[in-house]
């Protein structure tokens, strides 16, 4: 019995998005990868078709859909075998900060543009010398009258070059307790004192615009703060459950794509050579990997149901995030081996997947952080 109940509307949404990706995304992937950037125009096309920020209320231009729309959007975009167009980060990780914690003025100002694709968002947490330890961030936010002055550097910011709006985590240096010092601020790309670095060259995800962001006496109005002062850390923690669940779904879908492509490739290769079936050793390898993917999918469907019911599943999503990302990396490595010499060529589609999947063990909190969270939940 299927745990996830997709309606006719869900299925139509999936079909429309799959058709959109076939027409607008897949033919352009190689060009975007070579240029190292996805053009903003594709974001606007996604927005016009209703594929961005599906959870946002119709009051602000959104679909007002449930979490299954987010799952569908992530799966279909992932199945293009391209991860430079980081729409799920925008739609389901960054924009929810505005949707959940923004005041009415902020929602009316920014959400319609986020839905339409005219505003691309990013979230700036990570710093050069801090990494996963958010409590140790040094980017400062000092209130001065009706303004806030931000100084500091953020790094490894996805959507950083294309972004029009950034949710910035910064701390009040006058507050000693780091968990009470952090606030979240909305910074527009045109703000004086805010500068973007060039996209960072990376092992994989070549067309994803990952950059450094620099804040030098960057002055914004205090009304750009999300919620009350000093509440940034619990806000970040609250949204990490959904972020890590989405990364686990991303990794599972990458593993599905790799396995399906490899199975099809091996069957065609051996049929071309006159064999009725592929060798038993290859069959067994594929069976072992298919079992892992099936187990991952079943666990994730349970977590999706729990998440949609509002359950607190931080430990479970941490388990899923670390296990699925490591599983996807294992499958990418093993399938390349099964492809033999062809697995060394750029013309082999899963070569790109092999590079791109590597970062999934790092972002949204490293897998070591995930295991620490689970250990704590077990009373260890």
Asked whether the CA dihedral 110, 114, 118, 122 is positive or negative, the reply is positive
> Are 115 and 141 members of one domain?
no
Catalytic one of 243, 256, 292, 316: 243
Identify the CATH number of the domain in which residue 83 sits.
1.10.540.10
Rounded to whole angstroms, how far apart are CA atoms 5 and 36? 38
Extract the tokens encoding 121.
């968002």
> Are 59 and 179 members of one domain?
no
> Are 161 and 88 members of one domain?
no
> Are 147 and 94 members of one domain?
no
Instruction: Tell me 91's DSSP state.
Output: I
Extract the tokens encoding 358.
């590597």
Number of C-beta neighbours around residue 238 at 10 A: 14
Number of C-beta neighbours around residue 369 at 10 A: 19
The predicted pLDDT at position 278 comes to 87
* 231 sits in which H/E element: none
Decide: 353 and 336 in contact? Cβ < 8 Å.
Answer: no
Rounded to whole angstroms, how far apart are CA atoms 313 and 141? 32
Identify the CATH number of the domain in which residue 244 sits.
1.20.140.10
Beta bridge partners of 218: 150
Asked whether the CA dihedral 275, 276, 279, 285 is positive or negative, the reply is positive
> Are 92 and 188 members of one domain?
no
- 319 part of a folded domain: yes
> Are 103 and 164 members of one domain?
no
Using the structure block, give the residue that is written with the tokens 């070591």: 368
Task: Among 229, 254, 282, give the residue marking a domain's end.
Answer: 229
> Are 141 and 112 members of one domain?
no
> Are 167 and 302 members of one domain?
no
> Are 224 and 131 members of one domain?
yes
- 365 part of a folded domain: yes
Task: Among 214, 229, 244, give the residue marking a domain's end.
Answer: 229
- 255 part of a folded domain: yes
As averages over each run of 10 residues, the pLDDT of the chain (380 residues) reads: 88 98 97 96 98 98 97 98 94 98 98 98 92 85 95 96 97 94 97 96 95 98 96 94 97 98 92 77 97 97 97 97 98 96 94 97 94 96
List the Cα angle 198/199/205 in 5-degree steps.
175
Decide: 96 and 55 in contact? Cβ < 8 Å.
Answer: yes
Number of domains in the chain: 3
- 76 part of a folded domain: yes
Number of C-beta neighbours around residue 329 at 10 A: 19
The predicted pLDDT at position 274 comes to 67
* 3-state helix vs strand vs coil in the chain, percent to 5: 55, 15, 30
Closest by alpha carbon to 196, among 179, 215, 183? 215
- 2 part of a folded domain: no
- 3 part of a folded domain: no
> Are 219 and 353 members of one domain?
no
The predicted pLDDT at position 52 comes to 98
Beta bridge partners of 152: 215
- 1 part of a folded domain: no
* Model confidence, pTM: 0.95
The predicted pLDDT at position 305 comes to 97
> Are 111 and 139 members of one domain?
no
Task: Among 94, 119, 144, give the residue marking a domain's end.
Answer: 119
Cα 153 versus chain centre, distance: 21
> Are 181 and 261 members of one domain?
no
Identify the CATH number of the domain in which residue 187 sits.
2.40.110.10
Closest by alpha carbon to 266, among 344, 346, 340? 340
Number of C-beta neighbours around residue 284 at 10 A: 10
Based on the residue annotation, tell me whether 243 is a catalytic residue of this protein: yes
Range of the domain at 302: 233-377
- 214 part of a folded domain: yes
């Amino acid at each position: 019995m299927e745990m996830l109940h997709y309606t006719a509307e869900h299925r139509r949404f999936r079909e429309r998005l799959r058709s959109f990706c076939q027409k607008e995304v897949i033919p352009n992937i190689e060009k975007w990868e070579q240029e190292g950037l996805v053009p903003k125009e594709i974001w606007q096309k996604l927005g016009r078709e209703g594929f961005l920020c599906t959870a946002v209320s119709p009051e602000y231009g959104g679909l007002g859909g449930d979490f299954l729309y987010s799952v569908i959007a992530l799966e279909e975009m992932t199945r293009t075998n391209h991860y430079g167009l980081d729409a799920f980060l925008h739609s389901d990780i960054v924009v929810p900060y505005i949707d959940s914690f923004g005041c009415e003025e902020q929602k009316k100002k920014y959400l319609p543009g986020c839905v339409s694709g005219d505003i691309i968002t990013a979230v700036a947490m990570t710093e050069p010398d801090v990494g996963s330890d958010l409590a140790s961030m040094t980017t400062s936010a000092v209130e001065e009258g009706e303004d806030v002055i931000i100084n500091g550097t953020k790094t490894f910011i996805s959507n950083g070059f294309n972004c029009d709006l950034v949710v910035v985590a910064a701390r009040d240096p006058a507050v000693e307790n780091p968990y009470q010092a952090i606030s979240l601020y909305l910074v527009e790309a045109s703000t004086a004192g805010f500068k973007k670095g060039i996209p960072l060259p990376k092992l994989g995800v070549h067309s994803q615009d990952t950059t450094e962001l620099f804040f030098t006496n960057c002055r914004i109005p205090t009304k750009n703060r999300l919620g009350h002062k000093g509440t940034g850390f619990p806000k970040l923690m609250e949204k990490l459950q959904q972020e890590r669940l989405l990364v686990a779904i991303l990794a599972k879908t990458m593993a599905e794509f790799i396995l399906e492509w490899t199975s099809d490739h091996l069957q065609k290769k051996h049929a071309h050579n006159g064999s009725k079936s592929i060798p038993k050793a290859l069959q067994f390898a594929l069976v072992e990997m298919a079992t892992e993917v099936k187990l991952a999918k079943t666990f994730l469907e349970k977590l999706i149901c729990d998440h949609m019911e509002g359950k607190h599943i931080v430990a479970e999503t941490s388990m899923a995030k670390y296990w699925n990302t490591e599983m996807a990396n294992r499958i990418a490595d093993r399938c390349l081996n099964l492809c033999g010499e062809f697995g060394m060529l750029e013309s082999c589609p899963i070569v790109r997947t092999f590079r791109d999947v590597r970062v999934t063990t790092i972002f949204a909190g490293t897998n070591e952080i995930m295991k620490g969270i689970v250990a704590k939940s077990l009373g260890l």
